[in-house]
Amino acid sequence: MPVRIQTEDFDVSAEIAALRRGNPKIGAVASFVGVVRDVNDGDSVAALKLEHYPGMTEKAIEAIVAEAKARWDIADVTVVHRVGELKPLDQIVLVVVAGGHRGDAFAACEFIMDYLKTRAPFWKKEQTPQGARWVEARSSDDEAAERWAGAKKDVA
């Protein structure tokens, strides 16, 4: 269950290959890549700085992955999240879920992202023409996470 926080970029193909390697029981791999946009709340964004809480970040994501594994029939998960200075077009976050079948892999991948957005201690500060500003949390992210509250393995 690799969870990594790093400043350097990641290679999606290499991460997927590493997660699948040597496991013939895997029939489905679902992945999500988050990318820096050049616009947010109507303003152009020239750069982004990501701060996190070392130690808690890893623990929080590992707990989210453990919950996903309890809810869905999945084999393994990789989460890579970048911190530090990022620019538009840069990759920020990767979630890869490998399992026997696509239904559980898709659901677990979306669940992990929704929970990461609301529970993992990262904060974005963006550089706009008006100066630097902290990105505000979105209520739509809370709503996305809350819809999993009642979801069980058999109804997901």
Which residues are at the interface with other proteins (CB under 8 A)?
Answer: 34, 50-53, 55-56, 59-60, 81, 92-93, 113, 116-125, 134-137, 141
Nearest to 19, CA basis, from 9, 10, 29: 29
Nearest to 156, CA basis, from 116, 109, 120: 109
**Nearest distance, CB of residue 57 and other proteins, angstroms:** 8
Q: Residue 46 carries which DSSP code? A: -
**Nearest distance, CB of residue 119 and other proteins, angstroms:** 7
**Nearest distance, CB of residue 126 and other proteins, angstroms:** 10
Cβ closest to other proteins, residue 71 vs residue 81: 81
Q: Is 131 left (phi over 0), alpha (psi -120 to 50) or beta?
A: left
**Nearest distance, CB of residue 113 and other proteins, angstroms:** 6
Cβ closest to other proteins, residue 17 vs residue 56: 56
